[in-house]
Chain A
Amino acid sequence: MECDGMDALPDGVVQTILSQLSNARDVAACSGVSRCWRDCVPFLPALYFPRSAFDAAGGADDAIGRMVEAAARLEELVIYCPFSSARLPRWLAMRSASLRVLELRVDSAADKAAAAASGAGSAHLDCIGVVSTLQELRLWGLTMTRAPSWGQMQRLRVLEIVGAHLEDLAVSGAVHACPNLTDLALLGCECAGAVSFTLPLLERCRLDFVGSGSCALTLTAPQVESLEVQGFNWIVLQGGDRLKRLTIAKNTGSVYSVGIERLPVLEQLSLRGVQWSWGAVSYLLQCAAEVRHLVMKVEFCGDFDTLQPFPEVDLVEFFNTHPKLRRFEIHGAMFAALCQKNSLKNVGHIYIMLFSCNLLYYLPMLIVSLTLQLDSRFSISSLEEVLITVRSPLNAEQKLITLESLVCCSPRLLSMVIRISQMKNCHEASDEFFEEICKFAHVNKGRVRIE
């Protein structure tokens, strides 16, 4: 069939083509091409105003208003460029019957000044409540001092707030207005105090709270499958029955307590932070008996402000209580705590190491005979991948024994990666330890390597 190019395409097809465009600049250009193209604009489902859309010329608010008005069936609206929040209610009211996805960057300087002046930090967000069809809401750079008056956003499934200043009661109230969320993400949010969320349909949750105040989280989410939290000192989770992936981190400060009833189907567990209460760590490890992928990266423990090293953890007991463990990542201080205090019998090894703090010299370490007589039935049957970070040469021989045991007792081991970090070469013990590790890696080449 002969085709005279674009002009010969039926209108429905042109509409399909133009519906793939959402960048506001492209849409504006298309409206100017011909009448037929302009008539397709009301059918476009999505509009996206990038950050720099109106940099050179002004008139952002008018242009946004015009385009939103023209797009009668608008389903997705994304505005990253600065706009006046006073205009938002009108735009949303125009499209309240069709809008499903809304993403706004609300941190324009003008708004902040106005908000600071009037004391109402979230008034401009109230108008979002009028969009009853909304399914996904993403807000950037927000300040929320009181819960917005949204009524009940029954259809909302996804809520994401990034880079915000939130009052704890305000954010609890906002989430309370969205009872049917399946996905909740509050990232890079400055918030202190106590937040509480009850979400019966929640499946995925990511909370990243920054700032210096202390923070408590209570989450009731019986369907949650994936939970990642950072920045809370106290955590209570009601409903771990479906939880498969759990990450708890605290980049500064301490984790004092974690309350979870049980984690019967947990596959991945990741504990990170500067300081955790040992009670919290051991409780979680107990709950996570079925875990397959475990990451432990905590520097210190201790229930109060004094930082303490970890109590010893028996290697055999640890792996016997986590029989499905396939991937294991352990760093620094926690690795140092792994030992074989309860299970090693008749270990015969002779070593001579004289190490004097004052003189910094020592005789070489001689491990003449190293016989491990672990219970011969002991086997780490599922372990396939190990990543270990070693930071200090203290307790060198215990660490080497642990490495040896891991390799010897894991029939399925595919790879062990040893990361050596922060062992500066001003200390000869570090060098010696490093050499021993290299020897160990060499002996087990193929399975062990150093990074």
Chain B
Amino acid sequence: MAATTADGNKVDEAVGGEKSKMITLKSSDSEQFEMTREAAVMSQTIQHMIEDDCVDSGVPLPNVGSKILAMVIEYRNRHVDASSDSAGEKEDLKSFDESFVKVDQPTLFDIILAANYLDIKGLLDLSCQTVADMIKGKSVEEIRKTFNIKNDYTPDEEEEIPRENQWAFE
């Protein structure tokens, strides 16, 4: 899976030689975080950066703040370690995930955005599911209120909707 570039040999050496190499990630507020290559490549974005060989001086992540980056790294380290199939491990991981997303809304959305940018499927699914669970069972008004969503329907359109979906509001 080594990237082929003009200096093919050089890239091979870099990628194949040191599997346990540490990668440095730089958050938007210039804090630095170290993590193993193995954990880092859970992010498709970072994996592509590594393949394109632009990680020598650390990976810049201008879209992710240090607080969120620290959480994302914690998530990845936990999931990289958990490779066994034992039921106990799965339970532990499940409770880790459950408490991981017990955060306030702004943080949750930041996690979603970070997971989206870094392309970490597991974390994206987990955080999106959490938001979806918050939507379940709520009426239109309640949803808008919970998430502070602007209602961009015109008054005419607004009238149409309740009539169509009357059954959902009974």
Q: Which residues of A are interface residues toward B (Cβ below 8 A)? A: 1, 3, 5-10, 12-13, 16-18, 20-21, 23-26, 28-37, 53-60, 63, 66
Contact = CB atoms under 8 A, between A and B. Distances in A.
B167 A3 contact: no
A1, A16, A25 pick with most chain B CB within 10 angstroms = A1
Contact of B109 (A6, A28, A29, A31): A6
5 contacts: A16-B128, A29-B139, A29-B143, A29-B165, A66-B164
Interface string B52-80: 00000000000111001000000000000
Contact of A18 (B112, B132, B167, B168): B132
A7 B129 contact: no
B167 A57 contact: yes
B28 A13 contact: no
**Chain B interface mostly:** helix
Contacts of A31: 161, 165
Contacts of B136: 21, 23, 26
A406 B17 CA distance: 61
A33 B112 contact: no
A400 to B, nearest CB: 39
A15 to B, nearest CB: 9
Contacts of A20: 128-129, 132-133
**What are the 9 tightest A-B residue pairs by CB atom distance, in nearest-first order?**
A20-B132, A56-B170, A28-B168, A6-B147, A57-B167, A28-B165, A32-B140, A32-B161, A17-B128
Contacts of B28: 1
Contacts of A32: 140, 161-162, 165
Given A1-B65, A33-B140, A34-B149, A59 B128 contact: no
Interface of B: 28, 63-65, 68, 105-106, 109-110, 112-113, 116, 124-125, 128-129, 131-133, 135-140, 143-144, 147-153, 161-162, 164-170
Given A34-B152, A57-B170, A3 B109 contact: yes
B105 to A, nearest CB: 7
Contacts of A7: 148-150
A8, A21, A25, A55 pick with most chain B CB within 10 angstroms = A25
B113 A1 contact: yes
Nearest to B167: A57
B132 A13 contact: no
Nearest to B129: A20
B138 to A, nearest CB: 6
Contacts of A6: 109, 131, 147-149
A3 B139 contact: no
A24 B165 CA distance: 10
